[in-house]
Amino acid sequence: MVVVLIAACLLLWLVPFHSEAAAEGKNRIAADELKRISRLSFPLRDAFQTPYTVYIFAGDEKVSALTEQDYWTNNKAGDKSYTGTYHAALLKDGEKYGIVQSANLGLHEITLPQTWHYTVKGSGASMPDMLLFSEWGSSNFNLAHPFIIRSGVLQPLKFMNNNGKRMDDYYPASRRDGIRSLPKSRVQFKAYDNSKSKYVVNTFKLDISKLELRLDDTRYVEQAAWPNTGSGDRAYLDSLKTAAFNGYLPANPQFKLGMTFKSVKDKLKTAKFKENGEWGAFYRYDHYAVGFNDYLHDLNASSRVMIFNIFTDERNLTPFNVKRWLGKPGEEYFNEEEGGYELDYKVGNHSLGFHYEEEYGFIQLITIY
């Protein structure tokens, strides 16, 4: 009978409890004992900057040694590998006991030394730190699962798309420097995209009350280094939509659709060159061109600005992200005459067009007309 009671007590100690039980003191572990039994520990602050330590332990832990090098984790033969059902305990600074958490970590193996599980410090006074548990995703990135402390409890975060639909619990992040925290409760994830031969940088907005990371912006960049914190696709497309609605050139608002050649003639003197297009003359600059309703030899004082061409190779803008942030286009088709794809949006009295050669490639040209 005594043996049965002891076994039952051990089982209760190993099973993670809910926070309600924590309040009753049933799943406490002394701080010194936590330090002794834990395989990993991480300092972590909540949104009020209250410091805690997260201890990771397993009651059924087993140990072995790697027989060969693991190139993904940078571990060598002989490094210790631990397996078990790992749980977390949360110890608030100054407290004598840690509280076993109910969160499912999805963690069953730890090889030391390790770099796959780590913390990202919050940016700003009300931004909590994040604890990331990672697993292999591809040759370019890991899949990271984030946790934060809310109301004294370790909680997993859910990933949501820009429309509020739930995504996976894990998100791609480069193995080194793949996640960073930004002001205004934003978190960026970076990973190399083989299909585009570029780095994708996606920004999420943290909602602590809902325990959600909601997609807030997208961007493709050339280099592994983090981009500046300026605008990504979402703000850029919003600015294009505003420009199209008001009929002006985003890079040079003094040019407006419908203006006469006479009124803009002096402004055209800085153009790199001029040429005839299919429907009329163009005055071309480095990143845009101003088009008229008459050809060069017919231009006169009453000729009018008809179209703006915006060259966007450096923006790394994809058709998918255009539709993500602007919604369904009024028209989407393959232009056989031009040999490329078209997305067209009606914006007020004007139109905003996106043109690209490959179905899953990048936008080369944007038009406002």
- The pLDDT of residue 19: 40
> Looking at residue 26, what is its pLDDT?
58
Residues 206 and 237 in one domain: no
Residue 319 lies in a domain: yes
Of the pLDDT bands very low, low, confident and very high (cuts 50, 70, 90), residue 1 is very low
207 lies in the same domain as 335: no
Lowest mean pLDDT among 139-143, 336-340, 351-355: 336-340
Using CA of residue 226, residue 228, residue 232, residue 237, what is the dihedral sign? negative
What angle in degrees, to the nearest 10, is found between the helix axes of 319-326 and 233-246? 70
Band of pLDDT at residue 267, cut at 50, 70 and 90:
confident
pLDDT number for residue 229: 62
**pLDDT exceeds 60 at position 359:** yes
pLDDT at 9: 38
- Which bin fits 130, alpha (ψ -120 to 50), beta or left (φ > 0)? beta
Answer yes or no: is pLDDT of 114 > 60. Answer: yes
What single-letter DSSP state applies at residue 167? -
Extract the tokens encoding 97. Answer: 């006991």
Angle (nearest 5°) at CA 169 between 166 and 173? 115
Are 25 and 146 contained in the same domain? yes
Nearest to 116 by CA among 49, 42, 63: 42
Question: Domain of 138?
Answer: 2-221
Whether 25 has a pLDDT exceeding 80, the answer reads no
Asked which of 221, 249, 284 is the last residue of a domain, the reply is 221
Considering the domain architecture, whether residues 207 and 266 belong to the same structural domain is answered as: no
| pLDDT-derived band at 231, boundaries 50, 70, 90 | confident
| pLDDT bucket at 146, cuts 50 / 70 / 90 | very high
* 140 plus 116 within the same structural domain: yes
Kindly report the backbone phi and psi dihedral angles of residue 7, in degrees, each rounded to the nearest multiple of 5, phi listed first: -60, -40
Average pLDDT score over the chain = 91
Alpha carbon of residue 366 to chain centroid: 25
Q: How confident is the model at residue 303 (pLDDT cuts 50, 70, 90)?
A: very high
Same domain, 237 and 217: no
Within a domain: 227: no
Task: Kindly state whether residues 258 and 315 are assigned to the same domain.
Answer: yes
Residue whose token pair is 């993904």 = 72
Query: Is residue 3 scored above 90 in pLDDT?
Result: no
> Average pLDDT for residues 342-349, to the nearest whole number?
98
Q: Does 253 have pLDDT greater than 90? A: yes
Distance CA 164, CA 156 (A): 17
Position 276 pLDDT exceeds 70: yes
Residue 57, beta-bridge partner list: 87
- The residue-averaged pLDDT of 192-221 equals 97
Residues 161, 281, single domain; the answer is no
pTM of the predicted model as reported, rounded to 2 decimal places: 0.87
| 184 phi/psi in degrees, rounded to 5 | 65, 35
Position 149 pLDDT exceeds 80: yes
In this prediction, residue 337 carries a pLDDT of: 86
